[in-house]
Structure 1
Amino acid sequence: MTHVYGLAFVAAVVILLVKLLSIGKRPKNYPPGPPTLPLIGNLHQMPTRDAHLQFEKWAREYGPVYSLMLGTKTLVVLSSDKAVKDLLDKRSGIYSHRQEMYIGQELCSGGLRVLMMPYEPRWRMARKLVHSLLNVSAAKSYVPYQILENQQMLSQLLEDPDNFLHHIRRYSNALTTTMVFGWRTATYEDAKMQQLFDGFSEFAELNQTGMAAMVDFFPLLRSLPDFLLPARQRARELHKKEKALYLDHWLKAKEETTNGTIQPCFCEELVKSQKTEGFSDDQAAYISGTLLEAGSDTTSSTLYAFVQAMLLYPEVQKKAQAEIDRVVGRERLPNMDDEMDLQYVRAIMKETLRWMPTTILGAVPHAVTQDDWYEGHLIPKNAGVLNNVWAINMDPVRHPNPRQFMPERYRDDRQTLADAAANPDATKRDQFTFGAGRRICPGIHVAERSLFLGISRILWAFDIEPGLDANGKPIIPDPEKLTQGFVCMPEPFQARITPRSKERAEVVREQWRRAERECLDPGTNQWKIVPPGIRRGK
């Protein structure tokens, strides 16, 4: 009997060893990828900075669909327009899930962050609510909000050009808070906006640490005590502060909705939906907070990249200004009615999104809910599926000389950003920065208008040139140096932003003075009227 037990023990040990050694190993029927090591797979090859460059390099080496074995998990990387269209778009019913993210979703977000939610009824409910705010019809109605915030940004660029990033960030944040909560961010120094952007940085840092990845890829590590897993306590503290911020925003909007004093905004509808759907204040806070995150960071990062492109490519800037002068003239600012006549400006917007994609690796990977086969390879159930935005946007077949900023690529492309994303011909999609499938950014319609107004009006009013060093020589920024995180942008750089003429400067000043006088309460700098065209919730 002892002999039998001994054999059983040996067999159990052998089975355990075989299972352990299979961790990190790539099965033969998976998409190809770099060589693996036992247990860790490709974890040792994952870069700590500029991951987009390594992911692009692997795409050129292993093809448009390759796999990475990351401990106990599999990540399939899609690096071609065709693969993204075939899987994330056409098979979105099974490719819209998320892998479990212990640090990012459970600890940093209390399971509430819509961006990281699994494909379940709770996410679908939130998505439906968000669509009511951001569909194309609603997006058009918010243009008066965008115009006013744009006017303040131009005025600030005129009076304080050195802090142009601050003014761009306030523009995108104020527009988002108005659309979502009914109040605007009047100054860059606003403590709540500062907390928001500081939280972005801390969230990105926490989720890019080696330990965050390790506890995702090896769940057993979650049983470690806190002193051996310091990221856990940091994540909990971040969630505590973030939740308090989002709850404060939401409860204020909820109270103003009840009192009938709120400006037309998303939270009006969210209050009504809470009564019918029964979700908690915590969840409502994160639904609205998710919109605040997305609208505040991505638009400002893209406009910052646009400024860099203009100082690096002055000939593009001059060509765009000539188009604006021809269509708009010198006595007024461009508006949305000019959009279809400013095709080169629209091309600059699209090229900025391609050339410097903010969601450089698709923000958060999708996940597949069942085994699937694609071009002879198995994509296993629960595998992460990454939209390799940088590699697709930089594909030299799609875009010759991809690191050159060339708006001419889009000279005949009159699609909206959303139309291009939905085009059944994958080769006709303009860029991949907004994601794909059912997880595509719902703010794409609003972002397009914010970007067009920002780009066209800055070019109408200002010249953009490199900053100067102590000897008066131009300081040329390196466009390959990017910040790190879920949303990236160029590293800080200097630029000289000067009015194109005294007359244009006076137009900018007068437009803002009039907007302040007619639209804003002088004591609070908040809207004192409901602007014409803004849609009030039913």
Structure 2
Amino acid sequence: MVVFSELGAGQSNQVNMYYGDRWRLHRKMTHMGVGLQQVRNYRDFQNDESKVVALDLIHNPEEYVKHFERYATSVVSIIGFGRRVSSFMDPIITEVIAVMQRAAELNVPGKTFPMLMESFPFLANFPNWMAPWKHGLGQKGRGRPFFYALAEEAATSASSQQCYAKKIFDEAPKHKLSKMEISSLSGNLFGAGSDTSSSTLVTFVLACCAFPETMMKAWGELDRVVGPHRSPTFQDEPDLPYVKAFVKEVFRWRSVAIIGGQPHAPIKDDRYKGWFIPRNTWVQGNVWAIHHHEREFPEPDRFNPDRYTKGSAESRPFPGEKGYMTFGWGRRVCSGQGLAEQGTFITIARLLWGFKIEKAVDERGKEVGVDIFDFTNGLNMRPNPFKCRITPRNLEIRATIEREGQQALQDLSQYDGETKYRMSTYYATEKL
């Protein structure tokens, strides 16, 4: 890719790297942070952060999107840097997510500058001083990249908290990792994990508003298994088949990465079903088309968890074991899939247990409709802003949310802290 590779981090970032020894090293190091063997260790603080989301929704439900962004960012910040994010006003959220969303908007070849350089690569050869369409891309700075500074700060902190940044710096001399490589390893975790997970939860809210009948079935299951005096836990998962199906349908119905993330490319010429695919040709998986195929998913735009319940007349066999392909394929399947699935399950289970999520009403008390096709336009997508009503299901549940939320804040206090860096000012103040 011209913009995101040749003019960006290039072969220092796993996303852009050609397959080989260095790529395998980066993949291995990413698994040190969010691999399947690691993510079970994160359940306690993931669970506590989702309890804080429920508490926040009681006191300020109108800002539900910001609460989701704080939650997702805080989880990956604890993993990456040993430090939680306590407020949705923290610049580390607003700035990083804004950058991620801007990148997703731009990362559509031919849509606009600078991405027209993907369609017309010769435009990238012009020097920056005479090429305003490059937006400054391709300039090699001499200072420390932003996420390197964050990782270094965490790795050298006197805090006893173990975190991914410390693991990276322990391994860096052995593998001769450059500053850009360290920045990419920590930044990929932080940037991708915050925007995508929060977008999935916003989609969940939209589905509840548009298809309220699906919540009633979930309430019945949760009331039977959990009751009002505690919220769901990971241990409840085997007894909540409909809630698990609900989560699967959220992933399928409106997948965040609608074309499977970054493009792949074959490392040698290939032929497939009569098509000749030359080496290095972009190959993009169309997740939207797969997830909306009438054969596997009749009425694909209807949000229907029963597609995934065993014995249901509406279920269909699907080629993928999980029933969806939200996280991509092959060697480059999303490294954070296990973390995302784990966190999405516990958060959706808790929100279904705790709240009525309904369409907003106007000044005359009439419900305001939602548009299930009104999404952002980019490589990653999320619903455009919409209003809704999020209220506790009953007083007993409200009291439980308050009690558990306050306890969660106490348990999470071990991760309290703040970074001295701000993305908006970092490059202006960093000494070269």
| SS of the residue 2:25 aligns to | helix
1:370-385 to 2 correspondences below 5 Å: 370-385=268-283
| SS of the residue 2:271 aligns to | strand
1:15-30 to 2 correspondences below 5 Å: none
1:273-284 to 2 correspondences below 5 Å: 273-284=171-182
Question: Does structure 1 retain, via aligned residues, the 8 Å contact 2:145–2:183?
Answer: no
Query: Greater shift after overlay, 179-188 or 106-115?
Result: 106-115
Question: Does structure 2 retain, via aligned residues, the 8 Å contact 1:301–1:358?
Answer: yes
Question: Does structure 2 retain, via aligned residues, the 8 Å contact 1:146–1:450?
Answer: yes
Deviation at 1:518, TM superposition (A): 4.3
| Superposition TM-score, scaled by structure 2 size | 0.89
Does structure 1 residue 130 correspond to structure 2 residue 30?
A: yes
Deviation at 1:213, TM superposition (A): 4.0
| Match of residue 408, structure 2, among 515, 522, 528 | 515
1:347-406, Cα deviation, whole Å (9 max, x unpaired): 010001110000001121100011111122211111111111000000001111111111
Query: Greater shift after overlay, 197-206 or 367-376?
Result: 197-206
Does structure 1 residue 216 correspond to structure 2 residue 118?
A: yes
- Give the whole-Å Cα distance in 2 for the aligned partners of 1:146 and 1:348: 19
Q: 2:404 corresponds to which letter in structure 1?
A: Q
| SS of the residue 1:365 aligns to | coil
Aligned position for 1:158: 58
| SS of the residue 1:210 aligns to | coil
1:448-459 to 2 correspondences below 5 Å: 448-459=341-352
Cα distance change of structure 1 residues 380 and 353 upon mapping to structure 2, 3 Å threshold:
same
Does structure 1 residue 475 correspond to structure 2 residue 368?
A: yes
| Match of residue 197, structure 1, among 90, 97, 101 | 97
1:15-60, Cα deviation, whole Å (9 max, x unpaired): xxxxxxxxxxxxxxxxxxxxxxxxxxxxxxxxxxxxxxxxxxxxxx
Aligned position for 2:147: 246
Cα distance change of structure 1 residues 202 and 241 upon mapping to structure 2, 3 Å threshold:
farther
Deviation at 1:194, TM superposition (A): 1.4
Aligned position for 2:231: 333
- Give the whole-Å Cα distance in 1 for the aligned partners of 2:387 and 2:56: 16
Aligned position for 1:235: 137
| SS of the residue 1:373 aligns to | strand
Aligned position for 2:253: 355
1:183-218, Cα deviation, whole Å (9 max, x unpaired): 111111111221101211332344344344442333
| Match of residue 86, structure 2, among 178, 186, 210 | 186
| SS of the residue 2:12 aligns to | coil
Aligned position for 2:314: none
Cα distance change of structure 1 residues 519 and 173 upon mapping to structure 2, 3 Å threshold:
closer
Q: 1:452 corresponds to which letter in structure 2?
A: F
Cα distance change of structure 1 residues 243 and 191 upon mapping to structure 2, 3 Å threshold:
farther
- Give the whole-Å Cα distance in 2 for the aligned partners of 1:119 and 1:245: 26
| Match of residue 319, structure 1, among 217, 221, 235 | 217
Does structure 1 residue 392 correspond to structure 2 residue 290?
A: yes
- Give the whole-Å Cα distance in 1 for the aligned partners of 2:238 and 2:418: 33
- Give the whole-Å Cα distance in 1 for the aligned partners of 2:26 and 2:416: 36
Aligned position for 2:334: 441
1:428-462, Cα deviation, whole Å (9 max, x unpaired): 45111100000001111111110011101001111
The percentage of counterpart residues that share the same residue type is 32
Question: Does structure 1 retain, via aligned residues, the 8 Å contact 2:50–2:346?
Answer: yes
Aligned position for 2:422: none
| SS of the residue 1:463 aligns to | strand
Q: 1:358 corresponds to which letter in structure 2?
A: V
Does structure 1 residue 410 correspond to structure 2 residue 316?
A: no
Does structure 1 residue 167 correspond to structure 2 residue 67?
A: yes
How well do the aligned residues superpose, as a CA RMSD in angstroms? 2.4
- Give the whole-Å Cα distance in 1 for the aligned partners of 2:342 and 2:321: 21
For structure 1, the residue ranges without an aligned partner over 5 or more in a row are: 1-100, 414-422, 527-538
Cα distance change of structure 1 residues 254 and 517 upon mapping to structure 2, 3 Å threshold:
closer
Deviation at 1:427, TM superposition (A): 5.4
Q: 2:385 corresponds to which letter in structure 1?
A: P
Q: 1:513 corresponds to which letter in structure 2?
A: Q
| SS of the residue 1:366 aligns to | coil
Query: Greater shift after overlay, 197-206 or 265-274?
Result: 197-206
Q: 1:143 corresponds to which letter in structure 2?
A: R
Does structure 1 residue 116 correspond to structure 2 residue 16?
A: yes
Deviation at 1:227, TM superposition (A): 5.9
Deviation at 1:241, TM superposition (A): 13
Q: More relative contact order in 1 or in 2 (CA 8 Å, sep 6+)?
A: 2
Q: 2:23 corresponds to which letter in structure 1?
A: W
Query: Greater shift after overlay, 204-213 or 376-385?
Result: 204-213
Question: Does structure 2 retain, via aligned residues, the 8 Å contact 1:435–1:441?
Answer: yes
- Give the whole-Å Cα distance in 2 for the aligned partners of 1:274 and 1:143: 27
| SS of the residue 1:123 aligns to | helix
- Give the whole-Å Cα distance in 1 for the aligned partners of 2:82 and 2:29: 17
Deviation at 1:266, TM superposition (A): 1.6
Aligned position for 2:425: none
| SS of the residue 1:116 aligns to | coil
Q: 1:220 corresponds to which letter in structure 2?
A: F
Deviation at 1:503, TM superposition (A): 1.4
Aligned position for 1:310: 208
Question: Does structure 1 retain, via aligned residues, the 8 Å contact 2:83–2:418?
Answer: no
For structure 2, the residue ranges without an aligned partner over 5 or more in a row are: 312-316, 420-432
Deviation at 1:486, TM superposition (A): 2.1
1:80-124, Cα deviation, whole Å (9 max, x unpaired): xxxxxxxxxxxxxxxxxxxxx121223343553322222232221
Query: Greater shift after overlay, 149-158 or 202-211?
Result: 202-211
- Give the whole-Å Cα distance in 2 for the aligned partners of 1:448 and 1:224: 44
Larger radius of gyration: 1
Aligned position for 2:187: 289
